[in-house]
Chains A and B, each alone.
Chain A
């Protein structure tokens, strides 16, 4: 499974756009890229998933360059409630890991300030 590298932490202010980049140099041809969000003392929550180019939903956008060796999660106009840990996962099956086994790294702790 491809290893991922993310910044340990990021700070932002309310109303700003936040971009979190994840490196996955060894991504395989059949790997999808999935992002999860986790608030303290809660389980992770699926945000977005993509394979290539750009994916957008009501919560975020995911940008994946042609070589797929990195991806960027973009959160538009963050609010205090977006303060959480964001995990980038790369796996061989749609929606996460190979055969349902999700491989989490340490994630990026995003702190949004007023």
Chain B
């Protein structure tokens, strides 16, 4: 049973560019959440998708957007990249969006903006 898979594992982008990160949830899970983790900090919640809709959003600008597909996989898009967007981006999946089931995290995508 595959867990949460994210791609790519590493990415280098130039300031001002756009980036798309991908996540496949654990088998049987229907909810995907995205987190940003800066070096030395805990993960910060970006947003959560359930039934192809954004259900919750953290304190992130509109440059951060997402999508969930009918097969429950998800994408995180970041436009107009800033140096401060350099971080580990984590995807977590769970069953149901109410938070009452365990969340499983992927290995993350390390994004470096130069």
Contacts and interface: CB of A to CB of B under 8 A. Distances in A.
Contacts of A96: 99, 103
B48 A44 contact: no
Contact of A100 (B42, B48, B90): B48
Interface stretch (A13-21, A64-72, A102-110): A102-110
Interface residues of A, number: 23
A37 B50 CA distance: 25
A43 B102 contact: no
Interface in B26-84: 31, 33, 35, 40-45, 48, 55-56, 58
Given A44-B43, A99-B56, A91 B99 contact: yes
Contact of A95 (B40, B58, B101): B101
Nearest to B3: A43
Given A41-B108, A43-B4, A102 B40 contact: no
Nearest to A106: B42
A99 B55 contact: yes
A100 B33 contact: yes
Interface in A78-101: 87, 91, 93-101
Interface of B: 4, 31, 33, 35, 40-45, 48, 55-56, 58, 88, 90-92, 94, 96-108, 110
29 contacts: A41-B107, A41-B108, A41-B110, A42-B107, A44-B43, A44-B90, A46-B103, A93-B98, A93-B100, A95-B94, A95-B102, A99-B55, A99-B98, A99-B99, A100-B48, A100-B94, A100-B97, A101-B48, A101-B58, A102-B33, A102-B43, A102-B92, A103-B45, A104-B35, A104-B43, A105-B42, A106-B40, A106-B42, A107-B42
A72 to B, nearest CB: 19
Contacts of B90: 43-44
A97 B58 CA distance: 12
A92 to B, nearest CB: 8
Contacts of B35: 102, 104
B58 A102 contact: no
